[in-house]
């Protein structure tokens, strides 16, 4: 599998790649710099937005809004750039010390529910949680408690299995998932990553049910088949590999984000964004659903 540079910009903490099929655009984050990057897959200049709050994850709706999990809490961003916080961190977790939490990785389930996790800014263990945003009310519902570093989320091709990573555990966990309602049950380990291979970070799922996981500190993305058996490794030229997503009209390319943060002597590859042809296609991610009146400009 040939790896190529998609974008040379050195992100401090590149994360959260999202494919926008409507515009043919790859969008990804630099969490440390509070930036969102946009670039057409077929070329052109990168466009960068600096936003008010550090975004941990985001997803488009079908009508041009974005649901956003950021340092303010859960928010919605209109097409004109207006940002509205829906639920702040104090409301998400009243027991947490003010300013101690931020949002991290997220994803969209087959029913259009947006999922996101929280974590402590200082990475203190057990301070975060995992939430699902109800598509009909925009209300975040807490699914898991005592999460340390909530990261990768993904769903099997038929939507009946959900994957979630708490990086501090070194595991990818799986749940039984109801694709109609978003309900989950029967959490159990799917894959445990040996510490010498790196720390599991972001992930995505292909059309064969394989799970691709970025390994922070491991300089690689690994694929595990639907039974959790190791299948292949993609080596990257920089160690801090953060996330991956299928992109392209046929979802036949894999975009991979990396980070330069915490590297004493970062190389030119650190923080760059990469592309490869993985030999399989991905699972289409639906747009996030929100109530029609949330985050729209008032009439008149």
Question: Could you list the active site residues?
Answer: 201
CA 263 to chain centre: 22
Tokens linked to 28: 């990804």
Q: Give me the half-sphere count of Cα atoms (radius 13 Å) on the Cβ side of residue 47.
A: 9
Does residue 215 contact residue 200 with C-beta atoms inside 8 Å?
A: yes
The DSSP annotation for 181-197 comes to: T--EEEEEEEEE--GGG
The answer to whether residues 133 and 116 touch, using CB atoms and an 8 Å cutoff, is: yes
Helix (H) or strand (E) holding 89: helix 89-92
> What pairs with residue 216 in β-bridges?
199, 240
CA–CA distance, 235 with 19 (Å, rounded to integer): 22
Angstrom distance (rounded) from CA 276 to CA 64: 28
The token duo for 29 is: 């984050």
**Who's near 33: CB < 8 A, 6+ residues apart?**
11, 12, 13, 50
From the list 140, 87, 92, 132, the residue with the least C-alpha distance to 108 is: 132
């Amino acid at each position: 599998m040939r790896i190529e540079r998609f974008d040379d910009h050195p992100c401090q903490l590149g994360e959260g790649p999202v494919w926008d099929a409507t515009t043919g655009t790859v969008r990804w984050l630099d969490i440390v710099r509070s930036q969102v990057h946009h670039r057409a897959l077929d070329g052109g200049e990168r466009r960068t937005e600096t936003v008010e709050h550090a975004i941990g994850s985001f997803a488009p709706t079908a009508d041009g809004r974005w649901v956003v999990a950021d340092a303010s809490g859960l928010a919605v961003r209109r097409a004109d750039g207006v940002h509205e916080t829906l639920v702040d961190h104090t409301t998400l977790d009243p027991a947490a010390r003010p300013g101690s939490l931020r949002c991290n990785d997220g994803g969209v389930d087959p029913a259009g529910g947006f999922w996101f996790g929280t974590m402590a800014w200082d990475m203190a263990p057990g301070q975060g949680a995992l939430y699902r945003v109800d598509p009909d009310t925009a209300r975040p519902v807490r699914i898991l408690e005592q999460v340390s570093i909530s990261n990768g989320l993904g769903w099997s091709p038929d939507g009946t299995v959900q994957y979630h990573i708490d990086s501090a555990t070194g595991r990818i966990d799986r749940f039984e998932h109801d694709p109609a309602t978003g309900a989950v049950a029967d959490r159990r380990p799917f894959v445990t990553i040996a510490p010498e291979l790196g720390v599991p970070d972001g992930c995505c799922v292909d059309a064969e049910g394989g799970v691709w996981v970025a390994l922070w500190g491991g300089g690689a993305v690994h694929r595990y088949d639907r039974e959790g058996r190791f299948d292949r490794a993609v080596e990257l030229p920089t160690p801090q590999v953060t996330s991956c997503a299928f992109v392209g009209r046929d979802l036949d390319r894999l975009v991979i984000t990396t980070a330069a943060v915490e590297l004493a002597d970062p190389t030119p590859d650190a923080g760059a964004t990469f592309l490869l042809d993985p030999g399989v296609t991905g699972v289409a991610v639906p747009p996030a659903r929100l109530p029609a009146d949330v985050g729209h400009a008032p009439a008149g």
